[in-house]
Structure 1
Amino acid sequence: MIEYVHQYWLEFLTIASVHLLAVASPGPDFAIVLKHSISFGRRAAIITSIGVGVGILIHVGYSLLGIGIVIKTTPVLFQVLSYFAAMYLLYLGWGAIRSSAPKHLNSVEFKKTMHIISDNKAFMVGFLTNGLNPKATLFFLSVFAVVVSPDTPNAIKLGYGLYLAVATGIWFCVLSLFLSSKRVRLYIAKKGYWFDRGMGVVLILLAIKLVMPV
């Protein structure tokens, strides 16, 4: 029994370490949380972060059901997923690029004219951004194929997946708290729309990268 616990503990530490490196690297999830923190404020950014975390469960689900093997061995299917993700990122990026300058440039009036996004939309943007992210697909295929033993029970694998979902959500929530702090928001208040446009360009470049041949 102790040997089994030791085995799963080593698996967990390996997964947690790899996940820390993956979640900290810039990507669609980071870009959209950053954008929402600046454009819509703390509440929207945190809800978006929760959506990103819940989106992880999509990858956990198909990994446990064995669908990940189908995706891995069917290049056309993976390519279709990449195109869907690219189109979604293009949609988000184009909307960001069209951001206009606020009529009032002082920090007080800027706060009054802040854009508003519904909780449901903020959640779904985060959820779909991660759920359609091929990078996340590759991460889970690699983790469940290389790190996790085939003999590991599905209950343990589910535990790994839940940890990844919660850890991802917490990471981006903490990031949201920092980025949406009063000091940071006031710093970019007058030129925030330029930042929004910049993030739009980043999202579009990420979309292009998804469909470009390696």
Structure 2
Amino acid sequence: MLSPEQLLAFLGVALMITASPGPDNLMVLGVGMSRGRRQGMAFGLGCALGCLTHTLLATIGVSALLAASPIAFTALKVAGGLYLVWLGIGAIRSRGGARVDGSKALPDESLRRLFAKGLFANSINPKVVLFFLSFLPQFVIAGHGSVAWQTAQLGLVFTAQACLLFGLLGYFSGAIGLWVNRHPGVGLWLDRVAGTIFIGLGLRLILAR
């Protein structure tokens, strides 16, 4: 099982990453503002549960690499560290200005269809696959038991907190969306905080032996 320290460290970073302005949460806010709370929540929960696909792929991939060669596993972590540094630099260089467009007149869709859309969009996103393969292993501790089981637990924790945050975003989409539009600079600072976290995690894995 994950240690309390391991879990809290991962959860804190995961919450910050999920809350930072990005395509998924801005789409959840947009759907909620244009179609209503229930629709925003359905789409958001679909997006969040799409993370289960990436959790499975990361668990299988990490386990296969570790079984093949500890050196390959180390190489994955270093490559993941470089990828996180690259993401961090991009986030810090971002000019922010995130806006939510909830004014579009869109055709009505069932909650099931919106949920499926969110699930499908997240599940097939190759950038999210790459992110999970880079991010989850950073919090795996070899001495804490099965690497595969730790990776799976981390993915489930990430999915759970994404469900909570995206559900809340959908429910309060009107108020949050209008507030984001009135305070575009908030997105800039959230990007900078998330970018700093990415760079710190990446450098820690690149330099650690």
Fold match (TM-score > 0.5): yes
CA gap 1:160/1:122 in 2 versus in 1, 3 angstroms: closer
**For 1:107-126, what aligned pairs fall within 5 Å after superposition?**
111-112=102-103, 119=118, 122-123=122-123, 124=125, 125-126=127-128
CA gap 1:23/1:86 in 2 versus in 1, 3 angstroms: same
Determine the structure 2 residue equivalent to 1:80: 79
Structure 2 unaligned spans of 5+: 29-39, 105-116
- CA drift of 1:98 comes to 4.3
Determine the structure 1 residue equivalent to 2:55: 56
Which of 1 and 2 has greater Rg? Answer: 1
Cα distance in structure 2, aligned partners of 1:30 and 1:67: 33
CA offsets per residue over residues 119-144 of structure 1, 9 Å max, x none? Answer: 566552443332222xx21322x1xx
Cα distance in structure 2, aligned partners of 1:111 and 1:59: 34
Determine the structure 2 residue equivalent to 1:97: 95
Determine the structure 2 residue equivalent to 1:154: none
Structure 1 unaligned spans of 5+: 1-13, 103-109, 150-156
Q: Which amino acid aligns with 1:165?
A: G
Which secondary structure state, in structure 2, belongs to the residue aligned with residue 97 of structure 1? coil
Q: Residue 132 of structure 1 is aligned with which of 107, 131, 134?
A: 134
Determine if contact 1:57/1:162 at 8 Å carries over to the other structure: yes
Determine if contact 1:55/1:130 at 8 Å carries over to the other structure: yes
Alignment size in residue pairs: 174
Q: Which amino acid aligns with 2:87?
A: Y
Which secondary structure state, in structure 1, belongs to the residue aligned with residue 13 of structure 2? coil
Cα distance in structure 2, aligned partners of 1:56 and 1:146: 21
Q: Which amino acid aligns with 2:55?
A: I
After TM superposition, the structure 1 stretch with the greater mean CA deviation from structure 2, 123-132 or 173-182, is: 123-132
Determine the structure 2 residue equivalent to 1:196: 187
Which secondary structure state, in structure 2, belongs to the residue aligned with residue 15 of structure 1? coil
Cα distance in structure 2, aligned partners of 1:176 and 1:195: 18
Are 2:144 and 1:147 equivalent residues in the alignment?
A: yes
Determine if contact 2:62/2:148 at 8 Å carries over to the other structure: no
Cα distance in structure 2, aligned partners of 1:202 and 1:15: 26
Are 2:164 and 1:179 equivalent residues in the alignment?
A: no
Q: Which amino acid aligns with 2:13?
A: P
Cα distance in structure 1, aligned partners of 2:179 and 2:68: 44
Cα distance in structure 1, aligned partners of 2:153 and 2:90: 30
Cα distance in structure 2, aligned partners of 1:185 and 1:169: 22
CA gap 1:71/1:163 in 2 versus in 1, 3 angstroms: same
Which secondary structure state, in structure 1, belongs to the residue aligned with residue 87 of structure 2? helix
Provide TM-score, normalisation by structure 2: 0.59
Percent identity, aligned pairs only, is 10
Cα distance in structure 2, aligned partners of 1:161 and 1:101: 34
Structure 1 runs of 4+ aligned residues shifted over 4 Å read 16-19, 42-45, 118-123, 157-164
Determine if contact 1:49/1:169 at 8 Å carries over to the other structure: yes
Provide TM-score, normalisation by structure 1: 0.58
Cα distance in structure 2, aligned partners of 1:101 and 1:171: 23
* Superposition RMSD in Å: 3.9
Determine if contact 1:34/1:179 at 8 Å carries over to the other structure: no
Which secondary structure state, in structure 1, belongs to the residue aligned with residue 79 of structure 2? helix
Cα distance in structure 1, aligned partners of 2:121 and 2:77: 26
